[in-house]
Structure 1
Amino acid sequence: MTDPAYLITDTGRKLAYHQSPGAAPGVVFLGGFKSDMEGTKALYLEEWARKAGRAFLRFDYSGHGQSSGAFTEGCIGDWAADAKAAITALTNGPQVLVGSSMGGWISLLLARAMPDRVAGLVTIAAAPDFTEDSMWGGFDDAQRAELADRGQVALPSEYGEPYIITRRLIEDGRDHLVLRDPLNLPFGVRFLQGNADKDVDMSVAMRLLDHSTGPDMRLTLVDGADHRFSDPACLALIARSVEEVLAGAVGL
């Protein structure tokens, strides 16, 4: 594994990244909550991009992977700002964003904040508004009281150590919701979702499709696919979806 390069943002955060040169529009991978850029999907897409001669960028949000900061200090607004900084500083022109889980939410925020830099969108088990609808909405009275009193609450995770959910994460999330206001996606969009996903229910994907407007949106449900969405068939579907979006992008 090669060492990453680093970007120092205007906020002073040090973001680790790997970048491959190639044709435009480039592809940017946006990882999930407490994930990093060394995951199966990111590395698969990087290899696909190299073979296709396509520019590609993967990076770690602050508090994730090899970037600076503590995970518990971050929030959706911080991580969206990290993504915006990376795209602005490290890429040229519109990019196809591939957002996994929380990265799907962040990709939607970027599409709203910098539409001129988005050539298309592929989401994988997108989790828009999850801090409000899944976390806060799923807390019982005791958890809500603990969050108010202690400023954090621990949630079990099947991926390892418990998730520490902070009051700041919940409160900041409310400033970045995307399913409450109109969401226009004026480019090719592919929403991918497994029906065996225990972390993001299929109803979230249906709600996202129904809520969004755009000229070329498709939702693909994969029988038996879980939240990881990383078996060979799912990985191939991700690559095909990126190719479809690229084929429809302006300038190709």
Structure 2
Amino acid sequence: MVERLHTAQDRDIAYHLTPGAGPTVVFLGGFKSDMCGSKAVFLENWARDSGRAFLRFDYSGHGQSSEAFEDGCIGDWFEDAVAALGLIEGPVVLVGSSMGGWIALQIARAMPEKVAGLVGIATAPDFTEDGFWAGFSDAQKAELESAGRVAVPSEYGDPYIITKRLIEEGRARLVMRTPLPLPFAVRFLQGTADTSVTTQTAIRLLEHADSPDMRLTLVDGADHSFSDARCLPLIVSAINDVLAPAAGGAGG
């Protein structure tokens, strides 16, 4: 059954929390995705079978949570994630997919003491600036300024409505312009056939972040969803990798 959390920002966040051993694994979904996606459900089943505590949730404007998607921005979804972490006592391992990877990096920067490890799947740091804004034509930028929004084609169905607020607020959330210490084990997973996040982005993140134990795995032919039969077990392997030192040193 879906549970609900009312946040300090007056938003209602839908979530599933599976009890088990810590550190708790927390799945952070992508832009316009929800907690019922294949990766989130697969990992919940793995966690339940393994006796591992696990949390999946919907940001506001996503899935079963309150608010409209077009009213949201990166900062709102970061706040939602922080509120969801308030459900958990003790350390967490963050598993961020695409935008969720960027939000995981923000959480790690804001509260490193809470994070015992991080797994990024097709991590999309700063994508509002380096993806959307950088890719906009002059006409699209003018439309964004005058109308406050612009429609961007999506390979996943209906066009994305990108708002001026999403772009402008995202500039306060960038992680690739300043030092990014990650004082725990980190694993990044990236498909070479990903048309949303390039391998160059993944390598740039690897070179930019500072961790005592950080690795990037490139998977030939894997796409942005990273959710086929060979990719899903790789996520579990990466989680187990970062859990090993976490379980030894975080009292989990």
TM-score, normalised with respect to structure 2: 0.98
| Mapping for residues 198-213 of structure 1, pairs under 5 Å | 198-213=195-210
Which residue of 2 is the match for residue 133 of structure 1? 130
Letter in 2 for 1:107: A
| Mapping for residues 49-64 of structure 1, pairs under 5 Å | 49-64=47-62
Letter in 2 for 1:233: R
Q: Does residue 240 of structure 2 align to residue 246 of structure 1?
A: no
Which residue of 2 is the match for residue 224 of structure 1? 221
The separation in 2 between residues aligned to 1:214 and 1:124, in whole angstroms, is 17
Q: 1:248: Cα distance to partner? A: 1.2
The structure 2 residue matched to 1:236, chosen from 233, 236, 244, is 233
Q: In structure 1, the residue corresponding to 2:54 is in which secondary structure?
A: strand
The separation in 2 between residues aligned to 1:117 and 1:84, in whole angstroms, is 11
Identity %: 67
The structure 1 residue matched to 2:149, chosen from 147, 152, 177, is 152
Q: In structure 2, the residue corresponding to 1:63 is in which secondary structure?
A: coil
Which residue of 2 is the match for residue 175 of structure 1? 172
Letter in 2 for 1:223: D
User: Unaligned stretches of 5+ in structure 2?
Assistant: none
The separation in 1 between residues aligned to 2:79 and 2:202, in whole angstroms, is 24
Q: Does residue 112 of structure 2 align to residue 115 of structure 1?
A: yes
Q: Does residue 22 of structure 2 align to residue 6 of structure 1?
A: no
Which residue of 1 is the match for residue 77 of structure 2? 79
Which residue of 2 is the match for residue 41 of structure 1? 39
Q: Which runs of 4+ in 1 moved over 2 A?
A: none
The separation in 2 between residues aligned to 1:11 and 1:213, in whole angstroms, is 32
Deviations 1:8-47 (A, max 9, x none): 0011100000010000101000000000000000000000
The separation in 2 between residues aligned to 1:31 and 1:96, in whole angstroms, is 14
Q: 1:116: Cα distance to partner? A: 1.0
Q: 1:244: Cα distance to partner? A: 0.7
**What's the C-alpha RMSD, in Å, of the aligned pairs?**
0.6
The separation in 2 between residues aligned to 1:161 and 1:124, in whole angstroms, is 23
The separation in 2 between residues aligned to 1:51 and 1:241, in whole angstroms, is 17
Q: 1:158: Cα distance to partner? A: 1.1
Letter in 1 for 2:239: V
Letter in 2 for 1:144: K
The structure 2 residue matched to 1:142, chosen from 129, 136, 139, is 139
The separation in 1 between residues aligned to 2:110 and 2:126, in whole angstroms, is 16
Q: How many residues align?
A: 249
The separation in 1 between residues aligned to 2:75 and 2:128, in whole angstroms, is 12
Q: 1:157: Cα distance to partner? A: 0.7
